[in-house]
Amino acid sequence: MPARHSRGVFGADYGAPRLLGLHDRLDVPSTWCIPGHTIESFPEICGEVWDR
């Protein structure tokens, strides 16, 4: 079985929340381009990105 980071899980579970927190803390706007497959696979974190 592939490692977590090679399946894209690291970004959804750890990377995106860390970036969102950093952007919030520093009040930095951002634009995200998220592939449809990622939205279908990780709807919770993609919803958080959308809400901010």
Q: How many distinct structural domains can be found in the chain?
A: 1
* pLDDT at residue number 10: 85
Band of pLDDT at residue 52, cut at 50, 70 and 90: confident
Distances (CA, A) of 37 to 12, 17, 33, 47: 12, 18, 12, 14
Residue 27 belongs to domain spanning: 2-51
Q: State pLDDT tens for residues 5-41.
A: 566 788 899 999 999 999 999 999 999 999 999 999 9
* pLDDT at residue number 6: 61
Q: Could you tell me the two tokens for 1? A: 């079985």
* pLDDT at residue number 3: 61
* pLDDT at residue number 7: 65
